[in-house]
Structure 1
Amino acid sequence: MAQREAIVAVLRRADRVLVIRRGPDSARSGYWAPLSGKLEPGETQEEALVREVHEEVGLAVSPLAKVWQSETDDGTFRLHWWTATETGNGTIVPDPGEVSEVRWVTPAEFLTMTPLFDADREFFERVLPNL
């Protein structure tokens, strides 16, 4: 079966990154992770990023650059990691089904949170410090 495409949004404020604890309606509920979501048919990665961030936490963002690519641990999704910048007023309104908690954390703080996905850990350890 072909891999599906998904985006991961890396939103930063100074030295912190926005992460969520996945909500009750999410796959792998309870995991800490950056915002993410699958591409809809005909949607670009940039469009998916803007839509998913707005749906999950209500923030308006503008995509900056694709910075990494990984796969989900079950191989179902190819993940396209994008940095993005906030363009709205910065007010977070979480979708209660998708998001149970929202935090701005440093990479070091993120790496102490549990549970985490292996690819997210690798990104925060290896990729993010060089961005």
Structure 2
Amino acid sequence: MAPREAIVAVLRRGDRVLVVKRGPEARRSGYWAPLSGKLEPGETQEEALVREVHEEVGLTVAPLAKVWESETDDGVFRLHWWTAAVGTDEVVADPGEVAEARWVTVEEYLAMDPIFDGDREFFERILPGL
């Protein structure tokens, strides 16, 4: 079966990236990761990015560029990694999806546990070049 399409939101303020601890209703709850979500039928990656970020943390974003593509370790999802401009609004987390949200540096993120191997690769290899 082909993987389902999903987006990952790379939201930055200065040298920090927004990551969340996945909430009780989220797939693989408890992991620290950038915001992500499935594409709905007929939805573009950009539309999914804007919708998911707004639903999960209440931020309004403007998609900038797709910067990477990967698959989840279980092969269920193909992830499209997008940067986006984010305003100055405060994070208002959806408690079912997001247990906690933090703006972290690459070094801080890599020290968090648990994180996904694919996210580690992005933070180590891709993000520094963006």
TM-score (norm 2): 0.98
1: distance between equivalents of 2:11 and 2:89?
11
2: distance between equivalents of 1:12 and 1:2?
31
Unaligned runs of 5+ in 2: none
1:30 has 2:30 as partner = yes
Unaligned runs of 5+ in 1: none
1:17-74, CA deviations, whole angstroms, 9 ceiling, x for partnerless residues?
0000000001110000000000000000000000000000000000000000000000
1:52-109, CA deviations, whole angstroms, 9 ceiling, x for partnerless residues?
000000000000000000000000100000000114x412110000000000000010
Q: Which residue of the partner structure matches residue 51 of structure 2?
A: 51
Q: Which residue of the partner structure matches residue 123 of structure 2?
A: 124
What RMSD, in angstroms, separates the aligned Cα atoms of the two structures? Answer: 0.6
Which amino acid is 1:80 matched to?
H
2: distance between equivalents of 1:71 and 1:108?
23
- Give 3-state SS (helix, strand or coil) of 2:70's partner: strand
Q: Which residue of the partner structure matches residue 96 of structure 1?
A: 95
Which amino acid is 2:109 matched to?
F
Q: Which residue of the partner structure matches residue 82 of structure 2?
A: 82
2: distance between equivalents of 1:107 and 1:43?
30
- Give 3-state SS (helix, strand or coil) of 2:34's partner: strand
Q: Which residue of the partner structure matches residue 39 of structure 2?
A: 39
2: distance between equivalents of 1:29 and 1:102?
13
Which amino acid is 2:89 matched to?
G
Q: In percent, how many aligned pairs have the same letter?
A: 77
Which amino acid is 2:100 matched to?
E
- Give 3-state SS (helix, strand or coil) of 1:75's partner: coil
Q: Which residue of the partner structure matches residue 3 of structure 2?
A: 3
Which amino acid is 1:64 matched to?
L
- Give 3-state SS (helix, strand or coil) of 1:84's partner: strand
- Give 3-state SS (helix, strand or coil) of 1:21's partner: strand
- Give 3-state SS (helix, strand or coil) of 2:120's partner: helix
- Give 3-state SS (helix, strand or coil) of 2:9's partner: strand
